């Protein structure tokens, strides 16, 4: 030691005192030491004085390395070294001095762990094969590879266009097959009730009717059809409203039911827009068709059917239609509609002959009561 120290307070001065007197070389106590350690120092009992290994005092501020205490398991047994090291590195406190703890805190994203997400977000991409961080050039190259090519973009656009077209077509079919029926049936029902109310109040009298104006009600008991009959066969004014149209305009002008002779020609939709004639192909000879006017019921019986004919075959509306089985003028009825279903390529024709003219004052005919 080179540090200064105070002088010892003895009777003799520091330089005059002998080594024997100062006890530097030992005295009676020295004999005791010699006896304890054995030989020149006396015997030494290692097991009695050192039962446990020497452990330096833990000092959190020291820079010296130290081995952490082994954590205890569920049954107070030390956990294996590998498990203890893994647990301490994952969740436990950082082993080492202040500098080591600071480094560990920086790796975790700050002293309090607040920048952990930012550190993760700023980590450069790694190569999947080697695990090493990518350079800027490699990262840009991979970014360009991840971008969709023009062909891929075009295929996506085309696919989206097909999907949109399919959705629009589905909506159109739903509109045609479902919504048009609901709307047309509501309009036809309203017109039927209006006709009945006008007849009851005497507002409508037989005569000449304007196109689109209702004047009668058609009953087909077998098919449970009740639909208003309007003048003309206009698609927008009559047929699309769920009504049955009367061929009352040239060049396809036909007779009215109250005429002495003639063919009362009618047309209606078979599909969509109320579809009042959808099942007229099921009518058989002898089935009743009733036309109700303000003062009279006209009862017809089905005589024959033409399953398919050209739309240009206007002869089916003649006073004595060919192919109907009629051979002389009479009071006939003709129903026409499109066929096959959901197409307008051909026409389906049903003919009937009047069998009864019954005044309203006598009540409903038997065909409507049954």
Give the structural domain span for 249. Answer: 187-369
Summarised one tens digit per residue, pLDDT across range 183-232 is 999 999 999 999 999 888 877 666 778 889 999 999 999 999 999 999 99
Domain membership flag for residue 135: no
Asked if residues 325 and 303 have their Cβ atoms less than 8 Å apart, the reply is yes
Give this prediction's pTM.
Answer: 0.59
Indicate which residues carry an active-site annotation: 269, 338
How many other CB atoms are found less than 10 A from the CB of residue 13?
Answer: 9
Domain membership flag for residue 106: no
How many other CB atoms are found less than 10 A from the CB of residue 271?
Answer: 19
Instruction: Report the alpha-carbon distance of residue 269 to residue 237 in Å, rounded.
Output: 13
How many domains does the chain divide into? 1
Tokens, residue 314 = 């206007």
* CATH code of the domain covering residue 226: 2.40.260.10
H or E stretch covering 190 = helix 180-201
Q: pLDDT below 70 — which residues of the chain?
A: 1-96, 109-131, 204-206
Domain membership flag for residue 208: yes
Summarised one tens digit per residue, pLDDT across range 74-91 is 444 444 444 444 444 444
pLDDT of residue 341: 93
Domain membership flag for residue 89: no
Cis bond upstream, residue 340 (ω within 30): yes
Summarised one tens digit per residue, pLDDT across range 216-275 is 999 999 999 999 999 999 999 999 999 999 999 889 999 999 999 999 999 999 999 999
Instruction: Give me the residues paired with residue 179 across strands.
Output: none
Domain membership flag for residue 111: no
Instruction: Report the alpha-carbon distance of residue 335 to residue 355 in Å, rounded.
Output: 17
Burial state string for 210-243 with b = 16 or more CB within 10 A and e = fewer than 16: eeeebbbbbbbebbebbbbbbbbbeeebbbbbbb
Domain membership flag for residue 104: no
Give Cβ neighbours of residue 35 (< 8 Å, ≥ 6 apart): 42
Domain membership flag for residue 63: no
Asked if residues 111 and 98 have their Cβ atoms less than 8 Å apart, the reply is no
Domain membership flag for residue 23: no
């Amino acid at each position: 030691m080179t540090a200064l120290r105070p002088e010892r307070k003895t009777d003799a001065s520091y330089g005059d005192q002998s080594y024997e007197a100062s006890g530097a070389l030992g005295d009676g106590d020295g004999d005791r030491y010699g006896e304890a350690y054995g030989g020149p120092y006396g015997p030494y009992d290692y097991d009695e004085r050192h039962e446990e290994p020497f452990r330096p005092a833990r000092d959190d501020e020291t820079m010296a390395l130290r081995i952490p205490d082994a954590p205890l398991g569920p049954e107070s047994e030390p956990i294996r070294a590998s498990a203890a090291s893994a647990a301490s590195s994952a969740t436990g406190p950082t082993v080492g001095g202040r500098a080591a703890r600071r480094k560990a805190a920086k790796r975790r994203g700050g002293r309090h762990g607040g920048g952990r997400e930012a550190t993760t977000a700023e980590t450069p991409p790694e190569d999947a094969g080697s695990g090493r961080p990518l350079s800027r050039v490699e990262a840009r190259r991979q970014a360009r590879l991840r971008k969709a090519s023009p062909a891929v973009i075009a295929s996506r656009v085309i696919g989206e266009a097909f999907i949109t077209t399919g959705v629009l077509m589905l909506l159109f079919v739903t509109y045609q097959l479902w919504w048009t029926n609901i709307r047309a049936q509501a309009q036809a029902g309203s017109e039927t009730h209006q006709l009945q109310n006008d007849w009851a109040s005497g507002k409508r009298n037989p005569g000449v009717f304007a196109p689109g104006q209702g004047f009668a009600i058609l009953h087909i008991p077998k098919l449970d059809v009740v639909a208003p009959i309007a003048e003309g066969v206009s698609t927008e004014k009559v047929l699309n409203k769920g009504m049955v149209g009367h061929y009352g305009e040239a060049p396809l002008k036909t007779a009215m039911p109250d005429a002495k002779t003639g063919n009362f020609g009618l047309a209606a939709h078979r599909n969509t827009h109320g579809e009042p004639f959808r099942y007229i192909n099921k009518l058989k000879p002898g089935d009743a068709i009733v036309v109700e006017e303000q003062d009279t019921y006209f009862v017809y019986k089905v005589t024959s059917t033409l399953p398919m004919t050209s739309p240009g075959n206007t002869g089916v509306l003649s006073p004595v239609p060919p192919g109907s089985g009629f051979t002389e003028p009479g009071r006939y009825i003709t129903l026409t509609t499109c066929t096959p279903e959901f197409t307008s390529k051909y026409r389906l024709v049903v003919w009937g002959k009047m069998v009864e003219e019954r005044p309203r004052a006598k009540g409903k005919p038997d065909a409507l009561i049954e």
